[in-house]
Amino acid sequence: MRLLLIATLAFLTATPALAAPVCAATVQPTLTTDSGLTYSAWLPKDFARHHHDVPLILFSHGFGGCAQQSRTLTQALADAGYAVLAPNHKDKGCKRYTTGMAAGLWKMMTGRGPDKSFGNDAAWNPSTEVSRHDDIENLLDFALNHAPYKSAIDPSRIALMGHSLGGYTVLGLAGGWPQWRDTRFKAVLALAPFSTPFVDKDTLGKITIPVMYMGGTKDRLIAPTTVSQSFAMTRAPKYLVMLDGAGHFAFTELNHRYQATIAAYAIGFFDRSLRAKPVPQLDRPASGQVAQVLHHP
């Protein structure tokens, strides 16, 4: 694991981006809640004119990332009619995401990582990274009680989305840690999630809301087999989307090759789960950049 992180760190610091973005999303300003939590927001057009009809998605970033780390995806969701709010967790590390991810990997190598080692996932429990749970809950409570969000958001249509350690966060809130479960959340999208603590504890079957897992067939940090195993242990309705040739950072601004495909499946999942819209794409066989699609209704 240490050698892999060293190699990944060297690659990232030598390469500002894996692919030049076709249309890079604009960096949103950093906002602050009344309790001092910093966050970013992506809002649909004419958001202030809406009245309790905009679905809300809360996004949790990866270790060493930040609220802005997947802004192409969060902007795509806003363009599709979703409000997206993303807190900066305590391990945030980016003004530019490449710098932050390198810092995050360095923390892992030097032992200044998450609450418990990624290599000892069996030791993880509901107290591990509970501050991330608190950040999401605090940001949701803030949004439901403060302008401009409270009058536009539909409180019956709230979902979660997270990448890597953020995937751990949102799966925990969905019920992977029953102590964390918040019934206000109606769907969860886990992008290359660090899900092995839940696999070890056999708790993914306790999640009762729709789940979509996305992973990459070349992910060397969260193995494709781990994503598939997590999907198998989760109760329906559930979805699995594996991106052909994608690595761990395909879901971030480090790699724009897969962004359109990721956004299409993310929007489709939330459209079906939160808006009850017909989304034929979710039921079609894998093609193009997608190596595998599974759906258990």
CATH numbers and ranges of domains, the chain: 2-296 (3.40.50.1820)
Helix, strand, coil content of the chain in percent (nearest 5): 40, 20, 40
Residue 243 · residue 258 · CB < 8 Å: yes
What pLDDT is attached to residue 141?
Answer: 98
| pLDDT tens-digit series, residues 34-93 | 999 999 999 999 999 999 999 999 999 999 999 999 999 999 999 999 999 999 999 998
Q: Label residue 188 left, alpha or beta by phi (over 0 means left) and psi (-120 to 50 means alpha).
A: beta
- pLDDT number for residue 113: 74
Q: What is the pLDDT of residue 3?
A: 36
**What pLDDT score was predicted for residue 106?**
47
Spell out, as residue ranges, where the chain has pLDDT lower than 70.
1-24, 95-112
Can you give the pLDDT at residue 93?
Answer: 86
What does 236-266 look like in DSSP terms, one character per residue?
Answer: SSEEEEEETT--GGGGSTT--TTHHHHHHHH
Distances from the Cα of 131 to the Cαs of 175, 187, 222, in angstroms?
A: 16, 21, 22
Q: Helix 259-275 crosses helix 71-79 at what angle (to 10 degrees)? A: 50
DSSP string, 165-214: HHHHHHHIIIIISGGG--TTEEEEEEES---HHHHHHT-GGG--S-EEEE
Q: What gap in Å lies between CA 91 and CA 69, rounded to an integer?
A: 13
Q: Return d(Cα 55, Cα 162) in angstroms, integer.
A: 17
| b/e per residue 209-221 (b: at least 16 CB within 10 A) | bbbbbbbbbebeb
pLDDT at 111: 46
Q: How far apart are CA 25 and CA 45, in angstroms?
A: 15
Distance CA(272)–CA(264), nearest Å, equals 12
Which residues, including other chains, have CB under 8 Å from residue 62's CB and lie 6 or more apart?
A: 69, 101, 104, 163, 164, 165, 166, 252
Which residues face 189 on adjacent strands? 161, 212
pLDDT value at position 148? 97
Q: What is the pLDDT of residue 171?
A: 98
* 127 CB-near residues (< 8 Å, 6+ apart): 115
Neighbours of 251 (CB within 10 A): 32
Amino acid identity at 253: E
